Amino acid sequence: MVGYGWFISGMQLHHLSNLQTLKGVKAGSWIEDGLEKLTNLRDLEIDEIQGDVHMALSRSISKLVHLRSLLLDALYQSWIPAFESFSKHEHLYKMELIGRLEKLPEPHAFPPNLTELFLYGSKLDRDPMVTLEKLPNLRSLCIDSSVIGEDPYMGKEMVCSAGGFPLLDTLNIVGFHELEEWRVEEGAMRNLRCLAIEDCKRLKMLPDGLRYVITLQELKLEDMSEEMKERVRENEGEDWYKIRDIPSLIIK
């Protein structure tokens, strides 16, 4: 059910114990009053999260073990709360977090069957791939700045290790404005089919290891540096050999 947002703060939440979908609601005191009682929730979306509800929100979500999808949207320049372990959330396959993150949870603290992860404006200062590549069932990953205009990652280097991202199918990297070097080791992302890199203007060249990702069917490069565009110029660029066998190339 969608649309409880306009009156949920005045409602006794225990009357909604069978509710399965809750979307379009703003964070508030109702979270502490009984979000954890909605134990049948499958799909949850909460907007305008601020620090005064972080502890209650984290505690409540840890008890909603039947969740299948979770979207949390912090206010501009606000933080997504640090969470307790999601290791018992066996049904949670999709997470979307919009806002700053102090850090990513350890790999074992993510939902064990997570397949889709969207991070917007996280402002992470540590390479997110070190953690995310260890998620065994992750198939779609989007790390993006476009929703709230905040960089998702503040570092200059990023590494995808051999054996990392074993099932990843789709990867979108958008707005890594400080990123200068991306290394992809042979054996990383061995099932990747679609890769999009957008608005990463300090990234001057494609990873050499990208040529080992023989499953890649589509590569999109958009709003990149002129140097990058020259390096991937058909038959002439220094990086052309890395991508020449990819069936679909979109370079803008």
How far is the C-alpha of 30 from the C-alpha of 193, rounded, in Å? 43
Higher-confidence residue: 118 or 23? 118
Task: Tell me the average pLDDT across 172-188.
Answer: 96
Q: How far is CA 181 from the centre of its chain?
A: 20
- What confidence tens digit (pLDDT) does each residue in 150-172 have? 889 999 999 999 999 999 999 99
Is residue 136 within 8 Å of residue 186, measured between CB atoms? no
For the record, the structure tokens of 93 come out as 């396959």
Nearest to 53, CA basis, from 82, 24, 77, 76: 82
What is residue 50's predicted lDDT score, i.e. its pLDDT?
83
Q: How far is CA 238 from the centre of its chain?
A: 31
How far is the C-alpha of 115 from the C-alpha of 127, rounded, in Å? 20
- What confidence tens digit (pLDDT) does each residue in 105-117 have? 999 999 999 999 9
What is residue 83's predicted lDDT score, i.e. its pLDDT?
85
Question: Is residue 21 located within the same domain as residue 103?
Answer: yes
Question: Is residue 131 located within the same domain as residue 98?
Answer: no
Question: Is residue 151 located within the same domain as residue 72?
Answer: no
How far is the C-alpha of 119 from the C-alpha of 97, rounded, in Å? 5
List the CATH number of the domain containing 175.
3.80.10
Domain extent for 188: 115-252
Question: Is residue 56 located within the same domain as residue 33?
Answer: yes
Is residue 223 within 8 Å of residue 250, measured between CB atoms? no
Choosing from 113, 146, 166, the residue where a domain stops is: 113
Choosing from 79, 96, 113, the residue where a domain stops is: 113
- What confidence tens digit (pLDDT) does each residue in 51-96 have? 788 899 999 999 999 999 999 999 777 889 888 889 999 999 999 9
Choosing from 113, 134, 168, the residue where a domain stops is: 113
What is residue 192's predicted lDDT score, i.e. its pLDDT?
98
Poorest-confidence range of 19-33, 162-176, 225-239?
19-33
Per DSSP, the three-state class of 53 is helix
As beta bridge partners, residue 183 has 159
Domains in the chain: how many in total? Answer: 2
Question: Is residue 168 located within the same domain as residue 96?
Answer: no
The count of residues in the chain is 252
Nearest to 230, CA basis, from 240, 216, 222, 220: 240
Nearest to 99, CA basis, from 56, 62, 47: 47
Question: Is residue 65 located within the same domain as residue 92?
Answer: yes
Q: What is the pTM of this model?
A: 0.92
